[in-house]
A = this chain, B = another copy of it.
Amino acid sequence: MAGCGARTERALAAVLPPVGSHPAQLHEAMRYAVLGGGKRVRPLLVHAAGESLGASAAALDCAACAVELIHSYSLVHDDLPCMDDDVLRRGRPTTHVVYGEALAMLVGDALQPLAFEAVLAAAAHGVAPAAVLAMAAELAQAAGSRGMAGGQAIDLQAVGGGLGLEALEDMHRRKTGAMLRASVRLGAGCAGLVAGTDPRWQALERYADAIGLAFQVVDDILDVEGDAASLGKTAGKDAANNKPTYVSLMGLEPARQFAARLREQAWAALLPLGPAACRLGELADLIVLRKS
């Protein structure tokens, strides 16, 4: 998995505009926002899902960059003063602290189309045009108003409390779940597998459901347990903002048990895929057992 992380880092560095290319400051800020940090969970999911179905690594690089660029843009915008107003991310000053608010907004605005360029490039690596179209549409839906951006809008309105458990799940299914699911789906797309009744697709869907939810439950647990040093970002923000979390709604120990159950569900979902899906199982472990 370390090899895959290094591979993604190289792929991202290559897909981002080169250092010094015009306009230089924007490009420098884009590289700052994306490179040199992050767990790269979404690229790992793309590669693991694609490898379980025999996709080519070069095509998977395209999809992996696409999901990570969308994720990176969302972090840059989320950290802005008008949103979460965070000054620390991945252990470094946030993009707007370094480059100013206006340029940070443009960094996010420019990373988003770059993500689409990246996914479209899969067509140059053996993925059929129709499958690439389906992948690009999946990326757009996952990033859009019914997916990630929609989840963030619901989150905005949740500050100060007011969401029950069901509404909290709906929010996270959009805010983080949609892009985690898209990562799995794009990996499958690189192997030519698109939405349908194929049992492998159904298995991947159930797996994505479980890890999407687990990811957020663990995030909430870490926000309570962690400290800024290991998280690389400000801890305890959610409680300070009076945002509902799985911990605040369920309690800490039940939230831990819930995460453990979701990990089992993720492994169980992978059974129809056989040993080729082992990396996906390891990723479920990584998501649930991580300490940051």
With A23-B153, A129-B129, A133-B132 as known contacts, state yes or no: A145 contacts B30, CB within 8 Å.
yes
Q: Residue-by-residue, is A102-136 near B (CB-CB < 8 Å gives 1, otherwise 0)?
A: 11011011101110110010010000011011001
Q: Does A247 contact B (CB under 8 A)?
A: no
Beta-carbon contact of A117 and B137 below 8 Å: yes
What's the interface size class on A, roughly? 35 or more
Q: Does A242 contact B (CB under 8 A)?
A: no
With A26-B153, A156-B102 as known contacts, state yes or no: A113 contacts B110, CB within 8 Å.
no
Q: Does A25 contact B (CB under 8 A)?
A: yes
A228 / chain B contacts, CB cutoff of 8 Å: none
**Closest residue of B by beta carbon distance from A26:** B153
Q: Does A139 contact B (CB under 8 A)?
A: yes
Beta-carbon contact of A105 and B133 below 8 Å: no
Pick from A30, A102, A103, A170 the residue with the most CB of B within 10 Å: A102
- Stoichiometry, as copies per complex, reads 2
Beta-carbon contact of A17 and B146 below 8 Å: yes
Task: Report A's interface with B, CB cutoff 8 A.
Answer: 17, 22-23, 25-27, 30, 73-74, 77, 80-83, 101-103, 105-106, 108-110, 112-114, 116-117, 120, 123, 129-130, 132-133, 136-137, 139-141, 143-146, 149-150, 152-154, 156-157, 170
With A83-B102, A102-B83 as known contacts, state yes or no: A116 contacts B145, CB within 8 Å.
no
7 closest pairs, A vs B, by CB? A129-B129, A26-B153, A110-B149, A110-B145, A82-B101, A113-B144, A113-B140
Pick from A105, A114, A130 the residue with the most CB of B within 10 Å: A105
Beta-carbon contact of B109 and A149 below 8 Å: yes
Task: Specify which of B23, B81, B117, B120 is in contact with A150 (CB 8 Å cutoff).
Answer: B23
Beta-carbon contact of B26 and A145 below 8 Å: yes
A146 / chain B contacts, CB cutoff of 8 Å: 17, 22
The answer for the CA separation of A208 and B105 in the assembled complex, in Å, is 28
Beta-carbon contact of A117 and B101 below 8 Å: no
The answer for the CA separation of A141 and B115 in the assembled complex, in Å, is 11
A154 / chain B contacts, CB cutoff of 8 Å: 23
Task: Specify which of B102, B105, B114, B145 is in contact with A145 (CB 8 Å cutoff).
Answer: B114
With A120-B133, A140-B114, A140-B116 as known contacts, state yes or no: A109 contacts B106, CB within 8 Å.
no
The answer for the CA separation of A133 and B80 in the assembled complex, in Å, is 33
